[in-house]
Amino acid sequence: MKDIRPWVQETLRERLPKEGIGVDFTMGNGNDTLYMAGLVESGHIYAFDVQKQACETTTQLLEKHGVLDKVSVILDSHSNMDKYVGDQMIDVGVFNLGYLPRSDKSITTQYETTKEALDKALERLKIGGVIIMVIYPGHDEGAREAQLLYDFCKTLDRHIYNVLLYQFINKNNPPHIIAIEKYKTVINKRVGSPV
């Protein structure tokens, strides 16, 4: 069985075409950003983080691999993604939630801003596109965020979205994935409202 990271990478590879648009909502050290930048040719990646250090580390990593021109490295909250992505439709989005390991644990993702970003991402998600959230319930805010995201995702309209929970259930509070695939679009319908 695939562990979390290989599962994420395989899904990104399947869903992000060479001309596609990807969003890394939590760039951190830039590993997912770099992976997505390696998948696109004429496409583009938008990467967000609220920490200057994350943007600097990621910029260096992308420069080293010669793919900086494929990425917009953005020092801002992912909840402002609309200011940068505009009305462009996206193929994939990745949230790697929580805090950066070996960094300031108080700078962690919060449900309210994550949810705002998720709403904006779903509005812009192409048919066949996927939003992947890697969730870490092993700390207090992580447990709260995990529960609230799970509650919200369960309400997503089943006629528009497939929502997958990928989790090893015999481990203690392991990170797990919620992935949302859009398979149909409905005009003038608010995300999450029942049909």
- Residue ranges that bind ligand SAM, judged by CB under 6 A: 26, 28-29, 31-32, 48-51, 54, 77-79, 96, 98-100, 107, 109, 113
Residue closer to ligand SAM, measured from CB, 46 or 48: 48
3-state secondary structure 53-116: HHHHHHHHHHHHCCCHHHEEEEECCHHHHHHHHCCCCEEEEEEECCCCCCCCCCCCCCHHHHHH
Instruction: Retrieve residue 10's tokens.
Output: 């395989």
91/160 with CB nearer ligand SAM = 91
Choose between 160 and 180: whose C-beta lies nearer to ligand SAM: 180
Alpha carbons 193 and 195: distance in angstroms, whole number: 7
Q: Of 78 and 176, which has the nearer Cβ to ligand SAM?
A: 78
Pull the structure tokens for residue 91: 């193929």
Instruction: Report the C-alpha gap between 2 and 95 in whole angstroms.
Output: 19
- Closest approach, Cβ 158 to ligand SAM, in A, equals 29
Residue 81: CB minimum distance to ligand SAM, A: 9
CB of 188 to ligand SAM, least distance (A): 29
What is the smallest separation between the CB atom of 117 and ligand SAM, expressed in angstroms?
7
